[in-house]
Structure 1
Amino acid sequence: MQAKAHEVPVPPVLQDLRAGTAKLHVSLEKKLPFFSDRFDTNAFQRLMQAYYGFYLPLENALLDAAVTPADFDLASRLKAPTLREDLLTMGLSAEDIEGLPICQSLPVISDRPTCLGVLYVLEGATLGGQILRREMASRLELNADNGAAFLDIYGAETGRRWRNFIDYLSSRPLDTVERKAVVMTARATFSCFERWLESREVLI
């Protein structure tokens, strides 16, 4: 008789996040144009400008809120600086980037649970970036050297850093109300991002 594989229990907060954001995640993925036949380098640049317009103010909000747990290294996980370098590599000037539209409708970050909800979405996006990285390299010959470093921001460390984040999130002492706040903020982050990309007319 075969022994059953050891099952690792899924922490309650992660169960809640997966259930609470699944539909929003799928909805956004369907609208992203990366796999569209009409998606070209110009469309990629426009999309990355829109990403920058969301990531920059959201990450600044995380920094300004000053509610990130002291034992979490937020600085090493910021994505906007890499997006900015990608835009410079693609030919935008510093002045061009300074003049890009910036999202004003962001999820509220007021405490540790809301901070964790935002981080769950931002960190989870790095996993999907690996699929997009391969697609953009194959179809548009874009890579980390010519404007697509954002899609491979953690490189070979992507999987490990995601697991580390999940381990960190799962180890936080969150009660039922706090877990709900994490999920609601993650949902708000997805919704704000989708609305922003729609307003920039870069979605399918």
Structure 2
Amino acid sequence: MDTVERIGGQKSSGLAELRRVSRKAHEAVDEAFSRFDLADRASYSAFLTAHAGALLTAETYLAKHASALPSWRSRSELLKDDLRQMGLGVPAARQDIFPEHDGLALGILYVLEGSRLGGRVLSARVAEGLPRAYLSAFHQKGEWPEFLAYLERSLNESDVVRCDAVTAGAVLTFDLFRNSAGSQA
């Protein structure tokens, strides 16, 4: 199996390459969500709705491809419960966002698992009395390093086509979250 040849003809870490290629998309998501004030009920409502528009779509895709992924814990129900507690509707998951391609799901999962890290910081910003189960669904001990090790192994053992699909999955997911944030007035 051909492994991915990296910058200057040398092999580099597949995970480092994934992070490098998806960095701008990641930064765009951070910027898009930075306008939400989680201590303000209306702004937090828009934040949760934006997350639901992306997360429910991404997790629906992952559920269809679970056999090709390491174990993961869905946060869809936690997010739906938070929305209901806020008196908000639950947006429907879209089915037309992600193409079918080997490796795409792993890139999607990378973004979703990484967002748990941000949830730890953001949950502290939510006003007292507002639901925060979704943002408080942190990694269990060892989950994040185990996932990163799996992802690194997978990328380093994959051919260029699969690595590109993983990267595409990550970038598409970041774009999905960014677009969903932009859809909230």
Q: TM-score, normalised by structure 1?
A: 0.73
Partner of 1:3: none
Q: Percent identity?
A: 29
Aligned residue runs from structure 1 range 18-33, under 5 A: 18-33=19-34
Amino acid at match of 1:25: H
Q: Which shows bigger deviation, 15-24 or 59-68?
A: 59-68
C-alpha contact 2:54 2:177 (8 A) present in aligned 1:
yes
Cα displacement (A) at 1:90? 2.4
Q: State the alpha-carbon separation in 2 of the partners of residues 78 and 121 from structure 1.
A: 13
1:88 counterpart = 2:84: yes
Amino acid at match of 2:128: E
Partner of 1:68: 68
Cα displacement (A) at 1:183? 1.0
Q: How many residues align?
A: 173
Aligned residue runs from structure 1 range 3-22, under 5 A: 12-22=13-23
1:147 counterpart = 2:131: yes
Amino acid at match of 1:151: L
Structure with the greater alpha carbon radius of gyration: 1
Partner of 1:184: 168
Partner of 1:124: 114
Where does the alignment leave 5 or more consecutive residues of structure 2 unmatched? 1-10
Partner of 1:108: 99
1:165 counterpart = 2:161: no
Cα displacement (A) at 1:33? 3.7
Q: TM-score, normalised by structure 2?
A: 0.80
C-alpha contact 1:16 1:179 (8 A) present in aligned 2:
no
Cα displacement (A) at 1:115? 1.1
Q: State the alpha-carbon separation in 1 of the partners of residues 17 and 165 from structure 2.
A: 11
Q: Secondary structure at the match of 2:135?
A: helix
Q: State the alpha-carbon separation in 2 of the partners of residues 141 and 39 from structure 1.
A: 8
Cα displacement (A) at 1:105? 5.0
Cα displacement (A) at 1:31? 2.0
Amino acid at match of 2:111: V
Cα displacement (A) at 1:68? 2.4
Partner of 1:200: 184
Cα displacement (A) at 1:104? 5.3
Q: RMSD across aligned C-alpha pairs, in angstroms?
A: 2.5
Cα displacement (A) at 1:122? 0.6
C-alpha contact 1:67 1:115 (8 A) present in aligned 2:
no
User: Deviation string for 1:39-93 (max 9, x for gaps)?
Assistant: 6112112221221122112211222245523xx223xx2111110111222234x
Cα displacement (A) at 1:127? 0.7
User: Deviation string for 1:102-137 (max 9, x for gaps)?
Assistant: 4455232432x111111111111111111111222x
Q: State the alpha-carbon separation in 2 of the partners of residues 200 and 65 from structure 1.
A: 29
User: Deviation string for 1:134-154 (max 9, x for gaps)?
Assistant: 222xxx225xxx411111102
Q: State the alpha-carbon separation in 2 of the partners of residues 101 and 40 from structure 1.
A: 25
Where does the alignment leave 5 or more consecutive residues of structure 1 unmatched? 1-9
